[in-house]
């Protein structure tokens, strides 16, 4: 069984929107085209702030809230060159994080769940926004999951390395973060030498790939490195930072993946997962994004 989390026509996530910017509501609408109309839909829920504060500093969250409160309806401001906020962005980001938590609950309840949310999250660190990301949704979900289970694995297949997620769990031996991403691109982190520190040493895995990598290179990364490492870790729950911006037609990318490749990755992860998966949307900006979501859905449905 598979469920998904989404709002109705952008009524929540569409309130964080800058139409001329690449991270906008249109890309989420495109992703949702890949979901069957008969699928079970769950409405987004706001995260309790205690869960968000377990990942981000109070000072940072207050800073974002105050910045948004100063904005007039329909206006936006940039935290950095890549990350904007509107008057409603703090609340919208709280809905995205809350939806990631809901995806964990659904997965632990016995059903695969895909949280189709925005803004994305994996670049947001403990005290900073970055790369379109304000609240680190998958990190909030993983911290929450650690209250329910002993060990959590995060597999991040977004084109870009999840620097924020890595930083949040870099000293943590309960959360194993592994990422496959493009080498030498934004945000400049993700070296294979970054393996964690202190109690977290050995619980961080980065696989960086050259530009123009396709199915063969990605499959080798999964089969030779990611899948064996996650199996050895033995998680009770697997979360996926599901960014589909390595598609060949993605304007942000330079890789050669096709939609069916994401179905293949999903099947590989399903085969080693101790139970249902919780997936949280990250990047994905191209015209075939919805087709990639459809392939992921087929794999989760064992079609």
All domains of the chain, ordered by start, with CATH? 2-300 (3.40.800.20)
H or E stretch including 85? Answer: strand 84-86
DSSP structural state of residue 13: G
- Is 56 known to be catalytic? no
Write out pLDDT tens, residues 242-299: 999 999 999 999 999 999 999 999 999 999 999 999 999 999 999 999 999 999 999 9
Write out pLDDT tens, residues 177-199: 999 999 999 999 999 999 999 99
Residue 12, Cα to own-chain centre: how many angstroms?
A: 18
Note whether 139 and 239 are within 8 A (CB): no
Note whether 136 and 163 are within 8 A (CB): no
The whole-angstrom separation of Cα 239 and Cα 155 is: 6
Catalytic residue among 16, 122, 123, 161: 123
The whole-angstrom separation of Cα 175 and Cα 136 is: 15
The tokens describing 156, both together, are: 């991040």
Give the pLDDT band (50/70/90) at residue 303. Answer: confident
Quote the pLDDT of residue 83: 98
């Amino acid at each position: 069984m598979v469920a998904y989390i989404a709002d109705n026509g952008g009524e929540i996530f569409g309130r964080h929107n800058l139409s001329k910017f690449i991270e906008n509501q249109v890309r989420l609408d495109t992703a949702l085209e890949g979901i069957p109309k008969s699928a079970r839909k769950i409405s987004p829920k706001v995260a309790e702030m205690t869960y968000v504060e377990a990942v981000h500093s109070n000072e940072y969250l207050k800073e974002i809230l105050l910045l948004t409160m100063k904005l007039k309806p329909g206006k936006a401001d940039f935290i950095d060159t890549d990350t904007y906020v509107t008057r409603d962005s703090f609340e919208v980001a709280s809905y995205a994080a809350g939806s990631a938590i809901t995806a964990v609950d659904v997965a632990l309840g016995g059903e695969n769940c895909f949280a189709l949310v925005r803004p994305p999250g994996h670049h947001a660190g403990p005290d900073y926004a970055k790369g379109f990301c304000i609240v680190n949704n998958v990190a909030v979900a993983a911290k929450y999951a650690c209250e329910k289970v002993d060990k959590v694995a995060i597999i991040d297949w977004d084109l870009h390395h999840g620097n924020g997620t890595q930083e949040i769990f870099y000293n943590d031996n309960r959360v194993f973060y592994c990422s496959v991403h493009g080498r030498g691109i934004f945000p400049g982190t993700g070296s294979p030498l970054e393996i964690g520190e202190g109690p977290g040493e050995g619980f961080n895995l980065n696989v960086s790939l050259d530009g123009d990598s396709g199915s063969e290179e990605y499959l080798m990364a999964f089969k030779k490195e990611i899948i064996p490492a996650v199996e050895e870790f033995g998680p009770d729950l697997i979360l996926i930072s599901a960014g589909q911006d390595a598609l060949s037609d993605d304007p942000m990318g330079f890789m050669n993946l096709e939609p069916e490749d994401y179905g293949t990755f999903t099947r590989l992860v399903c085969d080693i997962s101790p139970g249902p998966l919780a997936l949280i949307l990250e990047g994905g900006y191209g015209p075939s994004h919805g087709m990639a979501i459809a392939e992921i859905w087929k794999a989760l449905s064992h079609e």
